Structures are given as structure tokens and as C-alpha cells.
Amino acid sequence: MIHILENIDKWKCEYKKCGAKCCTEGIQLTFEDIKRIKGLGYPIEDFLDFDETNHVFRIKGKDGKCFFIGKKLECTIRENEPLICRLLPFRIVEVSYSDEPLMRLKPVVDCPGVGQGKKLDKKKIEADASKFLHENQKLIRDIKKKGKKGVIEEI
């Protein structure tokens, strides 16, 4: 179940105005995100970190920003961006995996693109959030069963 805690009607990514503050190192990846990015020709060891504390895969950083941020602050993998990035202008504030997975989303604070651009497709955001929940739940199970190395070998 996806809960959007505050409503936003329109949004446009104004990454040049805010210095791409959402494009940070440590963005969480799903198994499908990793496969998609690897399919673009990026070696896994170049962009992938494993968070030992939370048992999740994350994007490596480059000068405190996402590995995939270009010199002009543009996303170099925009058409293949991770599910987390597709949730913008919302960020995940809570995830729980009980009987029914639950995710709470809240708008990114001080985003200059809020109220700009085209109307947000809430159904698409909810679909991407649900996909993230389910892919991440599967990845967590696989990591527990096969370990980090076993999961990476499958990619």
C-alpha cells in the first residue's frame, strides 16, 4: 500500500536551480535497477555499493553526488534511472514489510520544481512505488538466502 502524505499537482525537475540536491550518493537500487544499468555497459564495481548495515545495494558517489550525474548536473542514465528517482518529487519516509508492504511518500523539501511543469501522474508514482516495494522485498529475501555475492553473481 502506498500513502502519499502531501499532495503536489505539478512538478518539473529544476536540477540546475537546486544543484541537483536529490542526486546524491547512496540512492537505493533494486535488482532490476542494477540489471538495467549494467545492461547500459557500466561495470557493477564502478557504480554499486552494498550497505552492510541495511543489507541493500546503493549507487556509489562521486564528489558527494550520484555516480551518474554529468558535468552539467544532468542525469546520464535518465531513461534507465532507478525506481527511487522515478518517485521524485517524493521521497520515501517509511517502508514496512508486514502482511502487506507499506510505503509512505512525502514531497522533497524546498524543491524549486514544485508547482512547475506538467501535472503529476499519481497513478504512475504509486505504480513505481509498488514496484519498488515488491522488487526490494524480493531482493531482501534473496540476499538473506544467497548472500550479497550470490545475488551479484545472478546479475
pLDDT of 124: 94
pLDDT of 59: 96
How far apart CA 94 and CA 137 sit, in angstroms, is: 14
Q: Cα angle vertex 94, ends 127, 70, to 5°?
A: 70
State pLDDT tens for residues 22-66. 999 999 999 999 999 999 999 999 999 999 888 889 999 988 899
User: Is pLDDT above 90 for 149?
Assistant: no
pLDDT of 97: 81
Q: What CA dihedral angle connects 68, 139, 38 and 58, to 10 degrees?
A: 20
Nearest Cα residue to 45 out of 53, 73, 150, 37? 37
pLDDT of 86: 94
Alpha helix (H) ranges present in the chain? 15-18, 31-38, 44-47, 83-86, 122-154
Mean pLDDT along residues 66-93: 94
Please state the domain extents for the chain.
Answer: 2-148
State pLDDT tens for residues 92-110. 999 988 788 889 999 988 8
How far apart CA 15 and CA 141 sit, in angstroms, is: 35
pLDDT of 44: 93
Residue 87 in grid coordinates: 518517485
pLDDT of 1: 87
